[in-house]
Amino acid sequence: DTGVSQDPRHKITKRGQNVTFRCDPISEHNRLYWYRQTLGQGPEFLTYFQNEAQLEKSRLLSDRFSAERPKGSFSTLEIQRTEQGDSAMYLCASSLLGSYNEQFFGPGTRLTVL
Amino acid sequence: AQTVTQSQPEMSVQEAETVTLSCTYDTSESDYYLFWYKQPPSRQMILVIRQEAYKQQNATENRFSVNFQKAAKSFSLKISDSQLGDAAMYFCAYRRVNTGTASKLTFGTGTRLQVTL
């Protein structure tokens, strides 16, 4: 078990470009979460999956954002037509459905939009 | 909607001393979980300690303990015998009990803890 991994760790892009991030959860975990963390703030929930089903989306997740989790394994988060306000750390977490449902976090992808 | 407030942006403690980080929250739920997460610089977030709201006994994990005051909606973290490795951002977080789809964490804004020699 190598924990939650995210790729890339850093991404610099120009405004208007599309970007895609990948998250690989802990292998037996059936829940996967995406959070966004801006400088000086705590993480904010974006969306989460149980297996391949996307069960909840935050109002923060505008139409330019889309997330998938095909086959209930890894997940991708795509941002279309990036804006400078999208600059943030994007965190992925996974958990095993159960009474505590402890979420294990990945190292994050830091996005900088120029 | 649930909210979590951490009113101390920064705290400092000397090595081997004790420090308490504050957290308050607002919810209309009667059953929920509260957490403290640690985020070291450039490293991933890890769970420090968890408290179930239905338990009156305060949670303890080695040098870390909480003071959970349900009526006051207060959840502070005490770190005893502080070590240099405790230096990090600490986030207080709330989660509803896992009924239906309720699963997301709601975080506070964090407290940066410095540990000095």
Q: Is the pLDDT of residue A105 over 60?
A: yes
More confident residue, A99 or B74: B74
Enumerate helices (H) and strands (E) in chain B, giving the number of each: 0, 12
Min Cα distance A30 → chain B (Å) is: 13
Q: What is the pLDDT along chain B (117 residues), one digit of tens a residue?
A: 789 999 999 999 999 999 999 999 999 988 899 999 999 988 899 999 999 999 889 999 999 999 999 999 999 999 999 999 999 999 999 998 866 555 789 999 999 999 999
Q: Which residues pair with B77 in a beta bridge?
A: B21, B66
Please compute Rg for chain A using Cα positions: 13
pLDDT of B79 reads: 98
Percent of chain A beyond pLDDT 90? 80
Gap from B99 CA to chain A (nearest CA, Å):
10
Q: How confident is the model at residue A61 (pLDDT cuts 50, 70, 90)?
A: confident
Per-residue burial over B3-24, b = 16 or more CB atoms within 10 Å of its CB, e = otherwise = ebebebeebebeeeeebebbbb
Which tokens belong to B25?
Answer: 């929250």
pLDDT attached to residue B40: 92
Q: Cis (ω within 30 of 0) for the bond into A8?
A: yes
CB contact under 8 A, A56 and B101: yes
pLDDT at B56: 86
pLDDT at B101: 57
Question: What was the pLDDT predicted at A93?
Answer: 96
Is A101 near chain B, with CB under 8 Å? Answer: yes
**The dihedral sign for the CA sequence A58, B112, B43, B93:** negative
- Tell me which chain B residue has its CA closest to the CA of residue A105: B45
DSSP bridge pairs for A111 = A11, A88
Q: What is the nearest CA distance from A83 to chain B, expressed in angstroms?
A: 23
Interface of A with B in 10-69 (CB under 8 A): 31, 33, 35, 40-45, 48, 50, 55-56, 58
Nearest C-alpha in A relative to B10: A40
Report the candidate in A34, A33, A38, A45 with the shortest Cα–Cα distance to residue A84.
Answer: A38
Closest by Cα among A62, A70, A56 to A24: A70
Q: Which of A43, A44, A100 sits opposite B50 (nearest CB)?
A: A100
DSSP letters, B5-44, are E---SEEEEETT--EEE--EEE-S-SSEEEEEEEE-TTS-
User: Is A48 in contact with B110 (Cβ distance < 8 A)?
Assistant: no
